[in-house]
């Protein structure tokens, strides 16, 4: 496993690589999302600069609610307008079924305010039984985001 190139040259190479994919995205109509995880997760500004630099409506952000090095909710607000996909990360739950490190109600309210109403992937990383962790995360999504009567949110069939 190699090390990430954290230099400005590395940023430029990443930007050029993503720009080189735009023709394929446009030819296929497939959207691509850059996750705020790993090298470009350092700051939402860095992620947004790459997305803006690519300059395609088919290239946006994958907002991972659990991988934010800065103020979580400010970062979600920054990335939400460019969101193509969301990861609902979870690790542990309190007695009310709420995630202990992420305020899902607040996070989903931000996403909704920016018009995000697409898919949310569950990314459970906790210590309890993974099936139970996924089900608890699903319950949080249903509680705080899935509101078809209000016209947003969707559940997979």
* Structure token digits, residue 21: 């994919």
pLDDT digits over 6-22, tens only? 566 777 888 899 999 99
pTM of the model: 0.82
What is the DSSP-derived secondary structure letter of residue 119?
-
Give the DSSP H or E segment for 59: strand 59-64
DSSP state of 152: B
Q: What is the pLDDT of residues 82-95, one digit of tens each?
A: 999 999 999 999 99
Quick one: fold of 19-149? TIM Barrel (3.20.20)
pLDDT in tens, 74-132: 999 999 999 999 999 999 999 999 999 999 999 999 998 998 988 899 999 999 999 99
Residue 124, class by beta-carbon neighbours within 10 Å (0-12 exposed, 13-18 middle, 19+ buried)? buried
Strand partners, 87: 64, 121
């Amino acid at each position: 496993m190699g090390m990430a190139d954290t230099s400005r040259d590395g940023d430029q190479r990443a930007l050029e690589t993503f720009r080189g994919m735009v023709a394929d995205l446009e030819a296929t109509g497939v959207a691509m999302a850059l996750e705020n995880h790993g090298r470009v997760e350092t700051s939402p500004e860095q992620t947004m600069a790459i997305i803006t630099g690519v300059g395609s409506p088919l290239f946006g952000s994958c907002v991972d609610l659990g991988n934010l090095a800065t103020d979580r909710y400010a970062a979600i607000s920054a990335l939400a307008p460019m969101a193509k996909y969301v990861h609902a990360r979870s690790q542990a739950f309190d007695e009310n079924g709420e995630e202990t490190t992420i305020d899902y109600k607040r996070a989903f309210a931000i996403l909704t305010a920016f018009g995000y109403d697409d898919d949310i992937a569950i990314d459970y990383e906790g210590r309890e039984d993974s099936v139970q962790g996924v089900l608890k995360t699903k319950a949080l999504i249903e509680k705080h985001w899935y509101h078809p009567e209000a016209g947003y949110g969707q559940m997979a069939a």
